[in-house]
C-alpha cells in the first residue's frame, strides 16, 4: 500500500512540475526540451517549488511594497 501511495505522489509531483515549467517558460522563453538531461531532471524536481516562490512572492517583505 505504501508503494502505491509513493507512486501516486510521484506522478502528481511530475504533473505539477510539467505544468509549473510550462508557466515559468512563458517568462524565460526556454522550453524544457532544449535543456540537457541532468538539468531537465533538476528543473522537473524543483519547478513546483520555484513556481510558488516566484509567482506568489513568498520572500517579499510586506514593508517593501509600495502602493
Residues spanned by the domain of 45: 2-57
Residue 66 lies in a domain: no
pLDDT tens figures, 32-52:
667 777 877 887 788 778 777
In which residue are the cell numbers 509567482 written?
55
Nearest partner of 52 among 25, 30, 27, 20, judged by Cα:
20
Give, in order, the Cα–Cα distances in Å from 6 to each of 10, 11, 20, 34. 6, 9, 21, 29
Residue 67 lies in a domain: no
Residue 62 lies in a domain: no
Q: Please give the tally of structural domains in the chain.
A: 1
CA atoms in the 13 A half-sphere facing the CB of 3: 0
Rounded mean pLDDT of the chain? 75
Q: What is the model's pTM?
A: 0.57
pLDDT for 57 beyond 80: no
pLDDT for 3 beyond 90: yes
Q: What is the pLDDT of residue 66?
A: 58
Instruction: Give the integer Cα–Cα distance in Å for 44 and 40.
Output: 6
Residue 63 lies in a domain: no
Amino acid at each position: 500500500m505504501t508503494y502505491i501511495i509513493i507512486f501516486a505522489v510521484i506522478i502528481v509531483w511530475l504533473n505539477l512540475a510539467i505544468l509549473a515549467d510550462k508557466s515559468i517558460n512563458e517568462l524565460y522563453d526556454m522550453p524544457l526540451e532544449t535543456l540537457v538531461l541532468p538539468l531537465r531532471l533538476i528543473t522537473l524536481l524543483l519547478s513546483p517549488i520555484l513556481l510558488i516562490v516566484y509567482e506568489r512572492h513568498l520572500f517579499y517583505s510586506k514593508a517593501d511594497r509600495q502602493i
